[in-house]
Amino acid sequence: MRRLIVGDIHARYEALRTVLEMASFDPDEDILYSTGDLCDRGREPVETLEFLSSLPGFRPVLGNHDIWLELFLLTGEVDVDWLYNGGVDTIRRLSSGLSKRRTEELGRWLSSFPVIRLEEDDIIVHGGPGPCRSMAEVERLAAMRRPSPFRIGNADERSLFGILWDRDYLFSAMESERYEVPSKYMKVHYDLVPPLETERTIWSGHTQLIGTARPFIAPSYHLVAIDTGAGSGLGKLTLMDMDTRQMWQSGIG
């Protein structure tokens, strides 16, 4: 059994199938983790959701785009922010490509996605550790049952929301490693935060590393960031073996 992890897919179904084929992925034996953001911006949300939901060893975390998708699938409600971030095309394709029953089934499937996934040697999140400054806090939030659809009603839910959107941890790691923050984010204000005290590897997506289209690895922050820009249409989709760090990438056409 191998443990593979894929960066933000954003409905790039063909790229996903390409990297899995390059890695000789065995759906009956291998585990596939995901950093979230399964849909939006790409043209194949139905194919992406149907394929991933069929995999017995698929272990995702919730991304910010998945929050919007979950809300729509479960309630029919549309978050205005979603419309400006790829939601219009996703709604159109899902509405014409899914039955009401299947829409509800996929909504319930998304409701099972955690914000934090803890493994023996790994922490998988979409954005970063967010407000967590200790493993005890990470573990406490990971043990919570999140609301579905995701809504912010208390301090813990605000913390989970912060984990989904966190970029402070990545940018702090980049500064520590003397790595230039991607130009797309240069005007984004961020706070410097210390590395989390942990022996686990933190895997994240959310921030597109389009310039190099390579994962960013910061040993001092225990971080591997693997969103290499598939959602933009300008970067690549990255799949990585979590144990050997072997990598496979597909360009976006």
Chain segment 110-141, per-residue pLDDT in tens: 999 999 999 999 999 999 999 999 999 999 99
Quick check: pTM over 0.85?
yes
What does the pLDDT read at residue 105? 97
pLDDT (0 to 100) of residue 251: 82
Question: Largest alpha-carbon pair distance within the chain?
Answer: 50
Mean pLDDT across the stretch 11-18?
97
Between residues 210 and 116, which one has the greater pLDDT? 116
Mean pLDDT, the chain, rounded, equals 95
Q: In this predicted model, what pLDDT tens digit does every residue of 31-52 receive, in sequence order? A: 999 999 999 999 999 999 999 9
User: What type of residue is 57?
Assistant: G
CA torsion, points 219, 224, 229, 230, in degrees to nearest 10?
160
Residue 241 contacts residue 189 (beta carbons within 8 Å): no
Q: Which of 212, 223, 204, 162 is nearest to 182 (CA)?
A: 212
Distance CA 101, CA 84 (A): 27
User: 10 Å Cβ neighbour count for 148?
Assistant: 17
pLDDT in tens, 181-194: 776 776 677 889 99
Percent of the chain at pLDDT exceeding 90: 89
Mean pLDDT of 60-85: 96
What local confidence, expressed as pLDDT, does residue 178 receive? Answer: 86
Structure tokens given for 213: 């289209």
3-251 under CATH 3.30.9.10, yes or no? no
Please say whether the beta carbons of 211 and 196 come within 8 A: no
Distance, CA of 148 to CA of 108 (rounded, Å): 9
Q: Which residue has the tokens 């975390």?
A: 61
Average pLDDT over residues 26-31: 97
Pairing of β 216-218 and β 201-204:
unpaired
Summarised one tens digit per residue, pLDDT across range 99-116 is 999 999 999 999 999 999
Q: Per-residue confidence at 253, pLDDT binned at 50, 70, 90? A: low
Mean pLDDT along residues 224-235: 93
